[in-house]
Amino acid sequence: METIGLIVPCYNEEPSINLFYDEVERVFNEMKENNMNYNHEYWFVNDGSSDNTLSLIKNLRSKDKNVHYVSFSRNFGKESAMAAGLDNVGGDYVAVMDVDLQDPPALLPKMIKYIKEDGYDVVGCVQKTRKQNPVRAFLSSSFYKVINKMSDVEIKQNVRDYRLMTRQYVDNVLKLCEYNRFTKGIFSWVGFNTKYIEYDGVERAAGESHWSLYQLLEYSLEGIVDFSDVPLKVATWVGGFSFFISIIGLIFVVLRAIFFGGAVSGWPSLVSIILFINGVQLFCLGIAGNYIGKIYLETKNRPKYIVKEKE
Ligand code: UDP
Ligand code: MG
């Protein structure tokens, strides 16, 4: 019988763990009744939770030997948690899913069908309706537009990390061992035939989202810097353009001095121009700095996460 490995990042998810486990068990039992027989194994990744998440997972492990876990030494973030899951998970198919049931396990049978019957390698999930405040909705749709324009990876709007993958696909994802991880981009970069299915967004089963607006902005920046060097080119063009304009300005000033003479007037405009050019320079320096920062972290070659316990 084939096995489906489930990667489940958990950070302070005490209220959700058991709800999640029960729901997944229900889905797999239902699949059995419909003659879809698969083994499944869980890989919970405890991302440095400060509540009882780990003991709840251990509790499940004592009842069910298909439950495995990796527990980090501190909070490393969901991207690292997913990386740890991918490093450890077994199975012929692998799914990444949130523990808060916002990635409904009930979609799994449909996803498997696309892989088994239609020959897809990956099935990703796209949230159709999503309750979001207008500012977030606007920022998020702008992010997808920008990243799809700038980078050579195509990321579908509102795509979740929730996806079912074949072993071959997972093995290829594992070849991308970068430290700065933007998993949505990595998944897309690896390629293969991907089917996207849409579903209506669901509220969290319990607890609260861990994302602040600032973290989302950082995450977006990570996505752009990791998968595109267009901002560097923009910096070059902005620099080139202001250089060109300044040459014209210079010629104008020199000619005026030769033909009309007189003192140069208008220092307020001069100051404004200097400030403007300084702003442009700092902006471009900031862009370059972002890339240098990434290179710095990448060359240190640190591990993506530290495991404290694993079973
Ligand atoms: N998560 C994690 N580490 C973190 C933050 C979140 O492993 O530092 C997990 C979290 O437990 C959940 C998933 O990532 O299973 C998605 O987090 P959340 O629900 O907060 O994000 P949202 O659904 O709001 O995008
Ligand atoms: Mg969630």
153: buried, middle or exposed (CB in 10 Å: 19+, 13-18, 0-12)? buried
* Shortest-distance atom of ligand 1 to CA 82: 7
Mean pLDDT score of the chain, rounded to an integer? 89
Tell the residue nearest (CA) to atom 8 of ligand 1.
77
Structure-token pair, residue 132: 């979001």
Q: Could you give the CA distance from residue 145 to residue 166 in angstroms, rounded to a whole number?
A: 29
Q: How far apart are the first and last CA of the chain?
A: 23
Quick one: which of 112, 204, 199 has its CA closest to 158? 199
Q: Looking at the CA of 96, which ligand is closest?
A: 1
Cβ atoms of 4 and 108 within 8 Å: the answer is yes
Q: How far apart are CA 8 and CA 69, in angstroms?
A: 9
Strand partners, 8: 44
In the chain, where the domains are located: 3-210, 230-300
**Are residues 154 and 97 in contact, defined by beta-carbon separation less than 8 angstroms?**
no
Q: Is the CB of 103 within 6 Å of ligand 1?
A: no
Low-confidence ranges of the chain (pLDDT < 70): 130, 262-265
pLDDT at 139: 83
Between 3.40.50.720, 3.90.550.10, 3.50.50.60, 3.40.50.12780, what CATH number should domain 3-210 receive?
3.90.550.10
**Which pLDDT tens digit goes with each residue over 147-196?**
888 887 888 888 889 999 999 999 999 999 899 889 999 999 999 999 99
Residue 24: both structure tokens together: 């997944």
CA-nearest residue, atom 15 of ligand 1: 98
- Say what the pLDDT of residue 264 is: 64
In 3D space, the residue among 22, 24, 102, 21 whose CA is nearest the CA of residue 57 turns out to be 21
Q: Does residue 101's CB lie within 6 angstroms of at least one atom of ligand 1?
A: no
